[in-house]
Structures are given as C-alpha cells and as structure tokens.
Amino acid sequence: MKNPKLRSRTFWLVATVTMMSGGMIGACSSSSDNGFAADAGSDGTFGDGSSSDGSRDGSSTSDGSSGTDSGPVTCAAQTLEGTCDLVTQNCEAGNECDPIENADNSVTAQCVPQSTGSVPLGHECCPNAANQGGCVSGTFCLGPDCTDLDGGAGSKSGRCSPYCCQGDNGKCAESDPEGIKGTCDTNLIGTNPQDGGELFFGSGCTYKPPCKPFHVQSCGSDTSATCTLQDDGVSFRCSGIFNPPGLDAGIVCNAANACASGLECLGPLDGGATCTLMCYRADGGTPPFDAAALPMTPGFGGCNAGQTCNGSFIGAPGWYGFCVP
C-alpha cells in the first residue's frame, strides 16, 4: 500500500521562563485522517522546571534565519529505513522514493513509479484531495485537510514539501509564489501498522509567513492563525491555531498554537502549562516596530485588569513579556 496515512509533529521549542517554574513553546495543527497533519505530542525533553540559565532543551530547529542551507544530505538516522533514501530521492529515473506498507505490515522506504503530480514544491495543496494534493514527484502535501477543495488560491491548507534533514533547510527552498523561505521543522509520525504504535518517517518543511506580535503585523483577519515566537528567540512566524479560535487565558495547553491569538502556551509540560497573555514590556529594549502606536489593550500589548507585564523569557526579546497577577 503506497503512502500510509501519516501525521506530522512539529519540533518542540523550549525556553525557560523567569517567573514560572519552567517554560515551553511548541507548535501543532489540527489532526487529520488523510495525508499529513500535526499532533500535539512532545518530541523534546522537558526538565523539571528548575533551570534558570536560559538553556534550550529538547529537539528543535530554527526558522529560516538560521540552520544550514547546504542542500540535500543523507540523514539515515532521521528517516525511514528501506532500499532508498526519502531525502535524496536516489531512485532510478522514472521512480520516486516513498513510504510503502509491506505484506507483513512493516513500512519501509522503497522506489515506486513516479507521481504524475504537477503542483510544485512549496505551492499550496490539499492533503485530502485526489492524488494526495497532486504534488510533484519526490514531495508530498503537508498540512491539515482543506475544508473546501475548490476554494481557490490562498485557501488551501497544505504545502507540497520534500523530505528533509533536521537542521538543514536547503531542501525546503521557498514557498510558491510567495517566496517565504521554508524550514525543516516538522517530524512526520505515522501509526505503525504492526503494533499500532508510533512510527517516525522523517522530517518535512513548513512555509510560515513572518509576523509581528500584538497584531502589529498579523497573520490574517480571521482567528485561525496566531503569531508565535520561534526557537531562535528572535523571530516570529504565523502558525495555524489548533482547533481555532484557540484556548483562552488560564486554560491548560501543550503547544504554543493551541492558544488563541495573543497568547502563548507557557509553563512546564507536566500539566502546568497554560495559555498566557503576552504583552509589551517598556523596560525591555526597542522592538522592531513603533511601540508607541500600541493601544496597550489585552492582546495588543497590554494586560487584563489586575495584571501587569512583568514576566519575561530568558533568551527572548526583552520587550516580549507576559502578564502576571
């Protein structure tokens, strides 16, 4: 059986929070029964929350501002075993390397006849459409299922992604036609048909547009995306909200984009992480926007009544704080 149903898991991005017992920033998107989507499981190792040195634990990659761009490399330890390499696509002409379920229910990487898809790498697609989005050979449609298969340009929820190696963004290239640099930041996890457990297939690329917090440069007019801090501690990118419009402040969460726009999922992963309102700290340096123009209302730089903007991340911009009682 070609292309077993998979889901993807975005690498966990961890930071220590100075006014809490620990901190996390993660990402996920809605799950799906077809093609690829993301779950909220953790790929990183979270400590007991006692660290305060600003170190980052667990598996993570940065956005397009860092990581190597050396092009295709073999990362056998990170991809599915088999007779070919999912990343290098080293099959003979006319074939491509795909995850294949065998007669004994094992899944291996094998050369199969090339896809006839024509949707280019980085272009939008629908995982639940015919031919799994119609992506060109050697790529697959990565993202949640589309709610409208005929919604037109800008409405499709997936992107044609190549397999890639963690920490190397060279395979990702740029989104088509927007030109957003792709990042190899998503683990591809499938259900093992042999035992029902998890099976790691490799890694894929996402094409998240840049943004600025507090709605200075938003992720759109609707409530389906949120602007979150990336693991480099500097840049912000748009992520689709898990079950939009997302969780409210104070609700337990396990991924940054589980929360509504303007909130981040902060705290230790052992049940203590909650959606927390982010805010602008005037004592934290100069942000890359005109802070004087912020209305300083909740979600727009300010806090709710009875709260102050005193929380901060170690290793994050000093002006990007969170509200505390």
Give the pLDDT score at 76: 61
Residue range 278-301, pLDDT digits in tens: 999 999 999 999 999 999 999 999
R_g (Cα) of the chain, nearest Å: 20
Residue range 212-236, pLDDT digits in tens: 999 999 887 767 788 988 777 888 9
Kindly report the number of other CB atoms within 10 A of residue 103's CB atom: 6
pLDDT at residue 115 tops 50: yes
Give the pLDDT score at 314: 77
- Tracing tokens 């917090």 back to the chain, one arrives at 213
What phi and psi values does residue 76 have, to the nearest 5 degrees?
-55, -35
Of 201, 224, 228, the residue nearest 214 (C-alpha): 228
Of 168, 114, 133, the residue nearest 37 (C-alpha): 133
Residue 182: its H or E element = none
Angle (nearest 5°) at CA 145 between 159 and 206: 30
Of 298, 316, 295, 317, the residue nearest 308 (C-alpha): 298
Question: Cα–Cα distance between 125 and 1 in angstroms, integer?
Answer: 22
pTM for this predicted structure: 0.62
